[in-house]
Chain A
Amino acid sequence: DTGVSQNPRHKITKRGQNVTFRCDPISEHNRLYWYRQTLGQGPEFLTYFQNEAQLEKSRLLSDRFSAERPKGSFSTLEIQRTEQGDSAMYLCASSTRRYEQYFGPGTRLTVT
């Protein structure tokens, strides 16, 4: 399967804990995006990489959030000191052009 993969698919954590999600993009895609989706809403942009460079970050990405893409391959999204408001589906997408982004299955985070 050559699609975008995300791990884990589900994560339950207690408030205050740190969590890390991983995204493996489609192999030839140099652009990688993170979005967050909550119930009843469409995906909201968090951050964007072109190769290993993080080029844009949303105001939604507070200081507790950090994303990396070492060597321009896979990416990780870490949330420190999780809060209940962080509960959401975290989606990763990749592309070769700025549109027509291809999404992975998402990681559903539940903070208790």
Chain B
Amino acid sequence: DQQVKQNSPSLSVQEGRISILNCDYTNSMFDYFLWYKKYPAEGPTFLISISSIKDKNEDGRFTVFLNKSAKHLSLHIVPSQPGDSAVYFCAASGSDKLIFGTGTRLQVFP
């Protein structure tokens, strides 16, 4: 039973354009959502989070949108840069642990 799903295993975007990564969840008890970025041979790095009482949170080039009725969240990266190329995980929390999706590999090309 996968409670957090990232249905796109990969995404390729041109430098300077917008990258949109999507995530769906099934458990309505989740009250906090996070995005992590992971480079090979490193641990996940926290990017941005959003509480379930909000529908948008912005931090520099990164914006997370939450649609509770659709149980869907997305991460927008504008403008995309080559250094953004990594695997992105969304995660949800309703207790002390995080539930992760399977990740989306983002490649930003020149």
Contacts and interface: CB of A to CB of B under 8 A. Distances in A.
For chain B, what secondary structure do more than half of its interface residues adopt (helix, strand, loop), or is it mixed? Answer: strand
A60 to B, nearest CB: 11
7 contacts: A33-B98, A42-B101, A42-B103, A98-B93, A100-B34, A101-B98, A104-B43
Contacts of A109: none
Interface of B: 4, 32, 34, 36, 41-46, 49, 89, 91, 93, 95-103
A106 interface: yes
Contacts of A6: 43
Contacts of A105: 41-43
Interface of A: 4, 6, 31, 33, 35, 40-45, 48, 50, 55-56, 58, 91, 93, 98-106, 108
Contacts of A98: 32, 93, 95-96
B13 to A, nearest CB: 21
